[in-house]
Structure 1
């Protein structure tokens, strides 16, 4: 499934229209969402646009709203340079960027390394998936974070080298019911302990 062609989307908010028919078909009346890293905006989209059904939102190492200048300014020069290229470059240029970046990362992995298959999957379809993701992150997301009314619990490392912790603090300030836990001694990938806390938070209350 990771090698399937990505669905065209005009904005991250389109995720709501893609996912909710599946939930309807499955008869899911209430649910919680968990966004990890670049999955955070998609969790926020569901919470804002399907707020009558979303009970809670867990976010670990979550990406912030990159079109906002204050969020963008929290990143280092190299990241800002890449983001600028994503905003202004052609789709082919963005695909080429990810092809070079992901192949270089794959070359550093042993064939059976834990990230090797993920990297190979990301290279499928001429890097259409990573390119679409990079483009959508830079555009207006298609919804307002103030529309997220469900309780949000966020975990973010103070030492996260990929998504600066300052962006999590800013994002928490835009949400009406957010609780941010800043972690020490961890990096971008959530620890087992944080995973357990997120699952406990999302678990439905006993009847």
Structure 2
């Protein structure tokens, strides 16, 4: 693994992991609300498939500096700067959970460079009414997101930390995925949910790349009905809906990764 820093402006940088850089095909991974650029196991798996894996940190995660963003577009602009600096012209995107939304946004800005989008347990298009109504009590969920939109990133981060600390396993809480999400006084984590709650700056209805989605019916984080409705909004999508697996399952994750390797 090669962890590097990309300075996108004075005193501000993103960390990223560049695995298998000599390989001919490139997959850019954007992780979920809790995530890390340390993806050694996936990288080793993809190396055998001749696939370069670029995992890019979220603003304020891990050792990346924190910066307030107006919307999803602001982060995508930073991603484009990094991709340009690495001279990566064409690539596919791998969006995990909330990383799906960042993947959709990036594609709308540089359509000609994105070959395919792969989404595992992807966050649904909750800014669309027909989708958010799939999340149980519509009025309660609506108020929940209104709360995130008004709160500071730091306050949101503390809320997310308290909530998930009660349900995450000790193994996960000791992982890089959890620790890297809590950096910068949890402001990166808090900003992530704030971006979901504010005006996005783009619509997934404008995504033109082929989107391959994988979702489990027993996913307790993102109701599968939301994934179904999101797939309908995308212009060119294929949803693989399975019965079991929850929001993340290692076995299904690598099965989907195997599928990805056949499509890029």
State TM-score, norm by structure 2: 0.68
Question: What are the superposed Cα offsets for residues 66-121 of structure 1, whole Å, 9 maximum, x if unpaired?
Answer: 22233222223475553232133344532331242244456x51xxx244233233
Partner of 1:116 in structure 2?
A: 174
RMSD: 2.4
Select 1:20's aligned residue among 77, 80, 93.
Answer: 80
Select 1:52's aligned residue among 112, 116, 121.
Answer: 112
Select 1:154's aligned residue among 181, 190, 213.
Answer: 213
Select 2:196's aligned residue among 133, 137, 147.
Answer: 137
Question: What are the superposed Cα offsets for residues 167-192 of structure 1, whole Å, 9 maximum, x if unpaired?
Answer: 11111111111001101121100443
Q: Which has the higher strand share?
A: 2
Q: Is the 8 A contact 1:65 1:137 kept in 2?
A: no
Q: Partners of 1:90 and 1:114 in 2: how far apart?
A: 26
Q: Partners of 2:153 and 2:77 in 1: how far apart?
A: 24
Partner of 2:144 in structure 1?
A: 82
Q: Partners of 1:51 and 1:165 in 2: how far apart?
A: 27
Q: Partners of 1:194 and 1:123 in 2: how far apart?
A: 24
How many residues are aligned here? 201
Question: What are the superposed Cα offsets for residues 120-177 of structure 1, whole Å, 9 maximum, x if unpaired?
Answer: 3322222101110010001222112122111110011011000001111111111111
Q: Is the 8 A contact 1:87 1:135 kept in 2?
A: yes
Relative distance call for 1:90 and 1:98 in structure 2 (3 A) is same
Which protein, 1 or 2, shows the higher relative CO under an 8 Å CA cutoff with sep ≥ 6?
1
Select 2:238's aligned residue among 138, 162, 179.
Answer: 179
Q: Which has the higher helix share?
A: 1
